[in-house]
Structure 1
Amino acid sequence: MQKCSLITVFSLSVLMLAGCTTTYTMTTRTGEIIETQGKPEVDTATGMTKYADVYGYHRVIKTSEIVQTTEGASKLDW
């Protein structure tokens, strides 16, 4: 009985952690604030930064347009 409950607790813990993402906030030269899901990826070859917006769409912005990137809190995405 204890083994079954231990497996259940472990499984629920894994499922809860799978939905966690860390948000990042990018501020552009124009003052626009962009919230991202996960860390933005900088491509030095093209000079572009790839990120996923809050709705999950993949976007690209010129790295030179980004003034600041800050790490936010982790949150659950269900």
Structure 2
Amino acid sequence: MEKNPNISIAVAQAGGLTEAAKVTGAKSYQTVQQWIASGQVPARFCASLEAASGVSRFLLRPIDGHQIWPELVERVAELHQ
């Protein structure tokens, strides 16, 4: 069972492991595999993965996204109303 299936979805929608690494600036596809295995995308890569995949950065970091991007919390809440 995956720790955070939204990461796999985002990677797939971004074009796969290699493409996700390219668009985020990660070192390699192995780095992206580590995100999937750990269930956590480092915050510095979330915005670019969100842009490439359409998967919200809050879904990529559900535990602490509201602390990392507090300026976006209201905007996300408005989208879900």
TM-score by length of 1: 0.23
Q: Choose between structure 1 and 2: higher helix proportion.
A: 2
Larger radius of gyration: 1
TM-score by length of 2: 0.23
Q: Choose between structure 1 and 2: higher strand proportion.
A: 1
